[in-house]
Each structure stands twice: as structure tokens, then as C-alpha cells.
């Protein structure tokens, strides 16, 4: 799991930088200011959670037996990034109204991804509490 999570974290981190550069240089004049803010929120959360995934990988590498809670945390971060950031990218680039429906935040899929990210932090906290390094 260590190699998988390290690799995925590096890829997601790099893609976050690329997406941010894309937003700054290619999208600034093509989409609304609000859409640009939404896109940039996606890149920011993607980077934060790529770093969190990197931490999970390091913690897994430091334990003799990978804890299921650490592995769950890693997968929750991956899933959360895909759903949360992915839905924000899609919303900002397409303006598809169904991405906005049925949510207090205005996004239908982002809360699901956000819940996965929160669950990732929760499982990481539980794992950290029980870790024996």
C-alpha cells in the first residue's frame, strides 16, 4: 500500500499544480470569476489531500503491519479527491446545472466527496491514536 499511496499522492499533487496553472493561464479569460473560484477550490483541496495521502503512506511504511484504518483513510482521501475536486472541476468548466442541485452548498456531488475527506481525517485520527511506532 505504501508504494500505491505514495505514487497516487505524487500524481495527485502534480495534477493539482498543473490544474492550478491551467486555471491561472488558460481559464482566467474564458470562465466567470465565480467558476474560477470554484475551480481553484478544487485544486486547493486536491493538494491538501494529496499531502494527507502522502502522510498516510509514510505512516503505513513505519508500521510493521499496515493498519486497516490507515489503509481506509488513504482510500477515503483518494475517493474524496476524485469526487470533491472532480465535481468542482466539472461544474466550473461545464456549468451543468445538475451538479448544483440538492445541496446546501450548491453542489450535488461535492458534499459526498467532502464527507469522504472528513471520514479520511477521522480514520486517520483513530489510526494515529492507536498507532504503535
**Alpha helix (H) residue ranges in 23-109:** 33-62, 68-80, 86-94
User: Directed axis angle between helix 33-62 and helix 110-130, to 10°?
Assistant: 20
How many domains does the chain fold into? 1
What average pLDDT score do residues 94-115 get?
A: 69
At residue 27, the pLDDT reads 86
Burial of 120 (0-12, 13-18, 19+ CB in 10 A): buried
Asked whether the predicted pLDDT for residue 78 surpasses 70, the reply is: yes
pLDDT band of 46, cuts 50, 70, 90: very high
Asked whether the predicted pLDDT for residue 21 surpasses 50, the reply is: yes
Instruction: With CA atoms as reference, report the closest residue to 43 among 72, 98, 94, 84.
Output: 84
At residue 107, the pLDDT reads 53
pTM score of the predicted model? 0.89
At residue 28, the pLDDT reads 84
Contact 20, 40 (CB under 8 A): yes
At residue 110, the pLDDT reads 82
Q: State which residues form the domain around 83.
A: 2-130
Amino acid at each position: 500500500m505504501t508504494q500505491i499511496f505514495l505514487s497516487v499522492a505524487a500524481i495527485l499533487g502534480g495534477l493539482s499544480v498543473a490544474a492550478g496553472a491551467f486555471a491561472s493561464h488558460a481559464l482566467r479569460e474564458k470562465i466567470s470569476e465565480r467558476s474560477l473560484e470554484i475551480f481553484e477550490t478544487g485544486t486547493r483541496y486536491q493538494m491538501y489531500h494529496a499531502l494527507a495521502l502522502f502522510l498516510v503512506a509514510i505512516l503505513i511504511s513505519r508500521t510493521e503491519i499496515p493498519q486497516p484504518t490507515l489503509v481506509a483513510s488513504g482510500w477515503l482521501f483518494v475517493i474524496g479527491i476524485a469526487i470533491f475536486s472532480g465535481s468542482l472541476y466539472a461544474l466550473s468548466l461545464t456549468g451543468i446545472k445538475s451538479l448544483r442541485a440538492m445541496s446546501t452548498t450548491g453542489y450535488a456531488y461535492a458534499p459526498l466527496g467532502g464527507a469522504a475527506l472528513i471520514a479520511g481525517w477521522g480514520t486517520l485520527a483513530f489510526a494515529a491514536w492507536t498507532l504503535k511506532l
